[in-house]
Structure 1
Amino acid sequence: MTTANSASEETASTDARPAPTVWPTLQARDAGALIDFLVDTVGFLRTAVYADGDRVVHAQLDWPEGGGVMLGSHQPDGDWSREPGTAGTYVVTDDPDGLYARLRAAGVDMVRDIEDQEYGNRELAIRDPEGNLWSFGYYRGEPRA
């Protein structure tokens, strides 16, 4: 069966690389501190933070180069509960060397120093205060066929 593509599907299919539309979600024991770390140290943008007292109900942090993450306070009994500190996320950046220098200078826990990868990427990896792993590099994925 053949279906017609919408205008947005046609645009996406002709683009060499997919747009950043996957948003990892995290829960944190101290969501406020994780937000501050990701914004003030790593470079995410604080787009929206909804709180109920000390509990972060929902936060959206945008990556300046596209995409972002959503996070909130850990809710062990919630339908969408995830154990804090167990996520791993890859983030695209056009300047991994500059980011590495800034994070190293800030004393961030480096999991892997910046290095060239066999598949053509240049990347680094850090651990946030909750224990989540973050990898940053300029690899944007393979072009769609």
Structure 2
Amino acid sequence: MTTVEAPAPQVWPTLRATDARALIRFLVDAFGFEETAVYGEGDLVQHAQLSWPEGGGIMLGSVRDDGPWQLRAGTFGGYVVCADPDALYKRAVAAGAEVIQEMNETDYGSRGFAVRDPEGNLWSFGTYRGEPRSAD
């Protein structure tokens, strides 16, 4: 059996926020996401795309009680691959992220940490890029 490298990310996790514009600013400032698109007027964010510099990203919007895609704010949890978790840890803490797991090394070879954002979402950052996929 041969293996191939992990593919470029094409899964886009989504979340809702009570103050989507403030969360966007926090995610840009604390973690380094890039604001790619934000649609909406005033406090309402219909759709936003934040790109991760190392590939992939997230989508988010304001909490709404209409339509089929209803998520509560603060219920998201995600893992994000990063090349320099130590620098990102310092940046996140300086921006006010609540540390829920200090910098650590895992038994599967990752170095990383976990934090909570102001909306209550959980974010884990680390060097583990996933296992290569089988070419079969």
Q: Same fold (TM over 0.5)?
A: yes
What letter is aligned with 1:95? Answer: D
- Pairs within 5 Å for 1:6-45: 15-45=4-34
What letter is aligned with 1:27? Answer: R
1 or 2 for the larger relative contact order (CA 8 Å, sep ≥6)? 2
What letter is aligned with 1:59? Answer: A
Show structure 1 runs of 5+ residues with no match: 1-12
Please report how far the alpha carbon of residue 106 of structure 1 lies from its aligned counterpart in structure 2 after TM superposition: 2.9
Question: Residue 48 of structure 1 aligns to a residue in which SS?
Answer: strand
Q: Quick check: 1:64 aligned with 2:56? A: no
Q: Which residue of 2 aligns with 1:107?
A: 96
Q: Which residue of 1 aligns with 2:35?
A: 46
Show structure 2 runs of 5+ residues with no match: none
Structure (1/2) with the larger helix percentage: 1
TM-score normalised to structure 2 length: 0.92
Aligned length: 133
Over aligned residues, Cα RMSD in angstroms? 1.5
Question: Residue 78 of structure 2 aligns to a residue in which SS?
Answer: strand
TM-score normalised to structure 1 length: 0.87
Which deviates further from its counterpart, 75-84 or 102-111? 102-111
In structure 1, which of residues 66, 85, 94 is the aligned counterpart of residue 83 of structure 2? 94
Q: State the structure with more CA Rg.
A: 1
Question: Residue 45 of structure 2 aligns to a residue in which SS?
Answer: strand
Question: Residue 55 of structure 1 aligns to a residue in which SS?
Answer: coil
Q: Deviations over 1:110-136 (max 9, x none)?
A: 111110011111110010111000000
Please report how far the alpha carbon of residue 15 of structure 1 lies from its aligned counterpart in structure 2 after TM superposition: 4.0
Write out the 4+ residue segments of structure 1 that deviate beyond 3 Å after TM superposition. none
